[in-house]
Amino acid sequence: MVIIGVFMDEEKKVIKAAAKRAGMIVKAKKKTAVARAVIRKGTGKIKVNGMGLDTFVHGYTRELVLDSLRLAAGAEKEYDIDINVYGSGFMSQAIAVRACIAKALVKAKGKKLRELYMAFDRALLVDDVRRVESKKPLGRKARKKKQKSKR
């Protein structure tokens, strides 16, 4: 009985050590785009699919993604964030990355940052649950039907 208890304690220590090495894990979704991030203490490097944030997004989408960093006001310089995103199109991926960065910083920093993000844009912390409606029979799309003629 005592041996099992000691084994369980050792197992918990190993799990905690692995979690500390790996950092905290966060997930965000938009349509079928899924972004997963690992945040750990560091120097402020943000990588998306192995490349820098500047390389991943351009133009308006870049400004959209950087909103979550601007609102953090220097908090992002304490952490390294590695993001893996796949699925859907470039805009949905950018929104998923934006939300993932915000969620990671809130998980690391706490309640004040959460309140700030919620006041600015709720979509930073809450995933968009809308999905594409499936196509129905006798139609070209989900709701579009063939035109009927009365004569």
The torsion angles phi and psi of 48, rounded to 5 degrees, stand at: -120, 120
Domain ranges, ordered by start, for the chain: 24-124
pLDDT of residue 83: 92
The string of pLDDT tens digits covering residues 36-59 is 999 888 888 889 998 988 888 888
Q: Choose from 38-42, 68-72, 93-97, 127-131 the range with maximum mean pLDDT.
A: 93-97
Mean pLDDT for the stretch of residues 25-36: 92
Q: Is 62 helix (H, G, I), strand (E, B) or coil?
A: helix
The torsion angles phi and psi of 143, rounded to 5 degrees, stand at: -120, -15
Q: Is 74 helix (H, G, I), strand (E, B) or coil?
A: coil
2 has pLDDT over 60: no
What confidence category does residue 35 fall into, taking pLDDT thresholds of 50, 70 and 90?
Answer: very high
128 has pLDDT over 90: no
pLDDT of residue 7: 53
Q: Is the pTM of this model over 0.85?
A: no
Mean per-residue pLDDT of the chain: 84
17 has pLDDT over 60: no
16 has pLDDT over 60: no
pLDDT of residue 29: 92
13 has pLDDT over 80: no
DSSP string, 31-69: TTEEEEEEEEESSS-EEETTEEHHHH--HHHHHHHHHHH
Q: Which fold has domain 24-124?
A: Ribosomal Protein S5; domain 2 (3.30.230)
What confidence category does residue 5 fall into, taking pLDDT thresholds of 50, 70 and 90?
Answer: low
